[in-house]
Amino acid sequence: EAQVTQNPRYLITVTGKKLTVTCSQNMNHEYMSWYRQDPGLGLRQIYYSMNVEVTDKGDVPEGYKVSRKEKRNFPLILESPSPNQTSLYFCASSLSPGSGSTDTQYFGPGTRLTVL
Amino acid sequence: GDSVTQMEGPVTLSEEAFLTINCTYTATGYPSLFWYVQYPGEGLQLLLKATKADDKGSNKGFEATYRKETTSFHLEKGSVQVSDSAVYFCALDNTDKLIFGTGTRLQVFP
């Protein structure tokens, strides 16, 4: 089954304690992306990756890191989480990026993060 | 910059009512337009899309027409069901990412 998986689904942590949210897709997609969803703000892109070893900042990258060592995996790293990073996070992937791309983006089930 | 504006929710309807969720956009060029749906506790799923002016996207009884003259992509359904209760996001494709509206929650009661 084609899917994007994220782990963990729920996480409560404390300020400053490093954490990683994993994302994996089994569709051989080149493009992967992380979003955060906040009430009244919709989804905002954090980072994206066009392919292995190619990553770039989205709209709200501060406080986050990513890596793309393998095509299927795109982990999101919070080196020193703060309460303003409490949010619902989604990973997404699609076949190809690029201007005017109409490829469907496939979303993971989401990770609800609470930083105390 | 490019942006998407959706009507505020929640939208509350009785089963079999007609649904309209408004979406307008601002963009340079001719972006593709999308509606995504998020059911409770799940990620977003593509509902429908349109890639050029006057295109109509449709799926599961939902429709939306790409109107370049009014920069709109309103979502409609003739008869909603309880199972349609979800959050609906309008989005446009901008080079390397999707730009989303803030989402509209739809609640359908029997």
Per-residue model confidence as pLDDT tens digits over A18-37: 999 999 999 999 899 999 99
* Tokens, residue A18: 């490093």
What confidence category does residue B96 fall into, taking pLDDT thresholds of 50, 70 and 90?
Answer: low
Mutant choice from B42, B52, B96, B100 vs A, greatest count of A C-beta within 10 A:
B96
Is there a contact between A102 and B43 if contact means CB atoms under 8 Å apart? Answer: no
Is A4 in CB contact (< 8 Å) with chain B?
yes
What confidence category does residue A100 fall into, taking pLDDT thresholds of 50, 70 and 90?
Answer: very low
Mapped onto helix, strand or coil, the DSSP state of residue A25 is strand
Nearest by CB to residue A42, choosing from B49, B95, B102, is B102
Residue indicated by tokens 């506790």: B41
Mutant choice from B42, B44, B105 vs A, greatest count of A C-beta within 10 A:
B44
A40: nearest CA partner in chain B: B102
Cα(B77)–Cα(B98) distance, rounded to whole angstroms?
24
CA distances from A85 to A19, A45, A82, A111, B82 (A): 12, 13, 6, 12, 33
Cα(A3)–Cα(A27) distance, rounded to whole angstroms?
7
Q: Who has greater pLDDT, A25 or B98?
A: A25
Mapped onto helix, strand or coil, the DSSP state of residue A1 is coil
Is there a contact between A109 and B95 if contact means CB atoms under 8 Å apart? Answer: no
